């Protein structure tokens, strides 16, 4: 099973982008993101709070559709998924 993880803006600067991984069957979205981000403390701290929960402002997308941060703790990764992680978006 192959999955692509894409980080954007400041998250990309810390963690890179277009990371292709081969998670085990049954891996949760949140677990996979934690595993990848733990390689860079600043990147991990930018996305997760001190309790290991997604920071409120982090935006998750799965295959182009918004994924609520709380749902990432119970959503299993599927073969071919593309997970995108964005910081808050501002502008006007």
pLDDT at residue number 91 = 54
Q: Which residues of the chain are under the pLDDT cut of 70?
A: 90-92
CB 39 within 8 A of CB 71: no
d(CA 1, CA 24): 7
User: Strand, helix or coil at 90?
Assistant: coil
Residue among 28, 58, 29 at smallest CA distance from 43:
58
pLDDT at residue number 89 = 73
pLDDT at residue number 32 = 97
pLDDT at residue number 3 = 97
- pTM score, two decimals? 0.91
Which residue ranges form the domains of the chain, and what is each CATH number? 3-86 (3.10.20.30)
pLDDT at residue number 23 = 95
pLDDT at residue number 17 = 85
pLDDT at residue number 88 = 82
């Amino acid at each position: 099973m192959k999955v692509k993880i894409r980080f954007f803006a400041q998250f990309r600067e810390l963690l890179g982008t277009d990371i292709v991984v081969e998670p085990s069957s049954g891996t949760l979205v949140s677990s996979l993101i934690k595993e990848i981000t733990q390689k860079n403390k600043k990147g991990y701290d930018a996305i997760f709070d001190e309790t290991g929960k997604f920071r409120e402002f982090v935006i998750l997308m799965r295959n182009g559709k918004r994924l609520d941060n709380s749902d990432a703790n119970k959503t299993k990764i599927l073969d071919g998924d593309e997970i995108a992680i964005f910081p808050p978006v501002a502008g006007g």
